[in-house]
Structure 1
Amino acid sequence: MSEAQLKTHGELVRRRAPGYGMPGELFGRADVFETDVDVFFHKHWILVGVTADVPEPGDVSTVDIGKASIIIARDDDENIRTYRNVCRHRGARLKGAGKSTVGMLVCPYHQWTYDLDGSLRHTTHMGKDFDVTCRSLIPVNTKIVGTHIFVCLDKNAPEDISRLEQTMAPRFAPYDLQHTKIAFEQEIIENGNWKLVIENNRECYHCQGTHPELTASFLPEDFGFCPENLSEESLVALEEYKSRNAACQASWERDGFVSETVEWLDEDAVTQFRTQQLVIAGAGESQTISTRVASTRLFGNLTRRDLGDTHLWTHNSWTHVMSDHAVISYIIPLAADRTLVRTKWLVHADAVEGVDYNVKDLTEVWLATNTQDKHLVEITHEGTQDPAYVPGVFSPFTEAYVDQFSRWYAARLSAHGIA
């Protein structure tokens, strides 16, 4: 092994200079990856789905996260429950990854049978003294915020999920996101490290050159910019941007929508998140090529189309909620150089395809953006594994959140005795 390969995970993290990218080994090494999964996907709250994944009693969705697997189920009382996907007999997986509908959860090995409330209902050949009451499925810590299903696999789940819940619940409430359906969903595998996927999502320095579909609905100043030596034309545009933002924010607040930016991102955060209500360019209605709504059936009982984009980041997800549809993406790391990205497009539960919306208008912006981001992550991962790679300096104007993510990553590892 080279000297670099012999460095511990903590040493690699400490080697990062403030304001610079991470060492390439943090993206490429298998031992680093295994630790990342354990810390950031088993001990932190992560997004694993939406309530529309299990719309009816008996619907289940199985999600694999590293060596762990969970079952999300809607029970007969329409409550959403989550369990470890492990039979309490000899550990067999109850369900394979994906969605299905069941009456009960039956182990395929010895047919131990569980109710959707997790209780063991049926076994054979176990004798009259066998106590089924202590063999229920293992529950998982779960928080539902809007439509978002967050879980923590650790028994000691971070308590600051309450910050996210208290911040986002009133923002999501007018949209009635639990009364939605999945109009389209996509899974792609990006051949890059999960941290590079998140870093790419945390900046829009690259957006104008690579995301023509996405930038049709964004105001360019929201991408970040260097305020030094701006032209007279740019200064005028900046003042117009500030005026438009202020007017939209004031209008939303008057109508009862909570729109102020909230950040819980720095080293003292455990459950990292950020939310902002972005003004949409053009017609100002939705993240579409035309910037008008893709679905004429708005969420909840909304009547305003021009509600901008309620944006939420966590360390494994990003969400965009407009008046007519929502785009929710989350990631699951598969290997040091492979990351699964799941994206779901939600519309009102009563919206009718071909009448209220068509899938092309609904999806074309983020289908294109996801494809473009996949390429960017992959070429960056390849470059960071090149022997010539030396971490570069971040732009303080457009990549501050990437630097912030790097600091948070180091802080969380330190909290677990690693960095």
Structure 2
Amino acid sequence: MAKDISPAALDAVRRPIETANGLPNAHYIDPDVFEVEKEAVLLSSWAGLAVASDVPEIGDAKPMAFLGIPLLLVRDRSNTVRVFQNICRHRGMILVSEPRKIEGAIRCPYHSWCYGTDGRLVTTPHVGGPGFNTHEAIVKEDLGLIEVRSHIWFDTVFVNIDGKAAPFDKVHADLIARWADFDQPMYHGGADSRFTLPVKTNWKLAVENYCESYHLPWVHPGLNSYSRLEDHYNITERGKYSGQGTRAYSQLRGDDGATFPDFPAIDAKFIAGGEYITVYPNVLLGVQRDQTFVIILEPKGHAATDEHVHLYYATPDTDAALRGKNCALWRGVFEEDVFVVEGMQKGRHAPGFDGGRFSPAMDGPTHCFHDWVAGKIGAHLAAR
């Protein structure tokens, strides 16, 4: 066992914040530790894969990968978004190689086995020999696409790859209740309201940076000019989620003074402010009176992450110019964080760095995340 994932090292992370260390270097720079983390943290939890708006219409299909696993996001004929392994049950061929509309069936390009958008195996041409499309050994009911356990909340498609996690709505009941005001239609802004930032950092550093407001005065001076450090508060739900909130949210205005429509019937605290929470392990969410956002962190390895950003509004017909201005604003804010998370990633190559210390007043949300990761890894190793 690597020294950095020994029980003693993990226990040091899980101490009270006043004396705790952060996760050691190996959790960011060692490919072997990343392999352990994949099983212990990412495959065993409800991880974010995509947004349901990636497949907006019936029959839409989008091939994806999560930690190298080929997956297929599909909106089936009953308008249900589902996730399947993107492989044919015959010889494991990739079924769909680029986003497209499934007009009839999902056809394997190798031997033309065909599947419904609900995953059923429907045809097996010549499987019993030329002209014979059935065989007693091939039971179609047993050979449908392998479905991945999934749950949609906040338009986010969460997947539990190992299939062993408690139900999503049980795991995250507290957060669902906290944000019940936003349990209403929200509309993806479309092509001008999504972007991806490739970042040379471990995915956890993106979470850690997002969780806290401590860095605002120095990294986000523009944002801090109207949402000051002293306007923020910590959100710490140990073992579930963490983040920050602000009591000073300023609506974006167009050149004509127009704003986005508000979400109806939301609590006064969301009229004046906003909240920004990480749903462990890899989904970053934000809510404000007139817009929300979803960021899916896609780990591309131990030192690379793609940040997929999606912006949402209370109505489907928001002004295009204002959407474009809003997207540029948020992109600018998130790009300001890139040098920080990439700098911390480089810093993790310094021998002797013990994971650092936490500000008891300012780093509570980040320590909650470290504690959760260390707990997941410790439980995984203990079960081996």
TM over 0.5: yes
Counterpart secondary structure, 1:82: strand
Distance 1:163 1:34, change over 3 A: closer
Q: Deviations over 1:311-369 (max 9, x none)?
A: 33212111112232222102121111111111111234521443xx5233212332112
Cα offset for 1:119? Answer: 0.7
Would you say 1:51 and 2:48 are equivalent positions?
Answer: no
Letter in 1 for 2:248: I
Q: Which residue of 1 aligns with 2:338?
A: 374
Segment of structure 1 superposing worse, 65-74 or 370-379: 65-74
State the distance in 2 between where 1:262 and 1:210 align.
Answer: 21
Q: Which residue of 2 aligns with 1:145?
A: 153
State the distance in 2 between where 1:301 and 1:123 align.
Answer: 52
Cα offset for 1:151? Answer: 1.4
Q: Deviations over 1:161-194 (max 9, x none)?
A: 4242464268355562355443411112211111
Match of 1:314 among 279, 283, 303: 279
Counterpart secondary structure, 2:144: coil
Q: Which residue of 1 aligns with 2:131?
A: none
Letter in 1 for 2:127: M
Structure 2 unpaired stretches of 5+: 129-133
State the distance in 2 between where 1:69 and 1:418 align.
Answer: 29
Distance 1:100 1:293, change over 3 A: farther
Counterpart secondary structure, 2:193: strand
2:235–2:245: 8 Å Cα contact kept in structure 1?
no
Q: Deviations over 1:44-73 (max 9, x none)?
A: 001222222211101123331112132221
Letter in 1 for 2:126: H
Distance 1:58 1:302, change over 3 A: farther
Q: Which residue of 2 aligns with 1:60?
A: 61
Segment of structure 1 superposing worse, 374-383 or 8-17: 8-17
Distance 1:418 1:26, change over 3 A: farther
State the distance in 2 between where 1:40 and 1:147 align.
Answer: 22
Distance 1:170 1:386, change over 3 A: closer
Match of 2:207 among 169, 173, 198: 198
Distance 1:217 1:87, change over 3 A: farther
State the distance in 1 between where 2:175 and 2:84 align.
Answer: 27
State the distance in 2 between where 1:173 and 1:35 align.
Answer: 38
State the distance in 2 between where 1:154 and 1:314 align.
Answer: 18
Counterpart secondary structure, 1:306: helix
Q: Which residue of 2 aligns with 1:13?
A: 10
Counterpart secondary structure, 1:387: coil
Distance 1:319 1:174, change over 3 A: closer
Q: Which residue of 2 aligns with 1:394?
A: 358
State the distance in 2 between where 1:166 and 1:6 align.
Answer: 35
State the distance in 2 between where 1:400 and 1:303 align.
Answer: 25
Would you say 1:326 and 2:326 are equivalent positions?
Answer: no
Letter in 2 for 1:402: T
Would you say 1:279 and 2:247 are equivalent positions?
Answer: yes
State the distance in 2 between where 1:220 and 1:263 align.
Answer: 17
Q: Which residue of 2 aligns with 1:404?
A: 368
Q: Which residue of 2 aligns with 1:186?
A: 195
State the distance in 1 between where 2:243 and 2:124 align.
Answer: 48
Letter in 2 for 1:102: I
Counterpart secondary structure, 1:350: coil
Write the mapping of 1:16-35 to structure 2, written as runs, cut at 5 A.
16=13, 18-35=19-36
Letter in 2 for 1:191: K
State the distance in 2 between where 1:134 and 1:84 align.
Answer: 15
Normalized against structure 2, the TM-score is what? 0.84
1:297–1:348: 8 Å Cα contact kept in structure 2?
yes
Distance 1:40 1:66, change over 3 A: same
Q: Deviations over 1:220-275 (max 9, x none)?
A: 22446xxxxxxxxxxxxxxxxxxxxxxxxxxxxxxxxxxxx97532xxx3xx2247
Q: Which residue of 2 aligns with 1:102?
A: 102
Cα offset for 1:156? Answer: 1.4
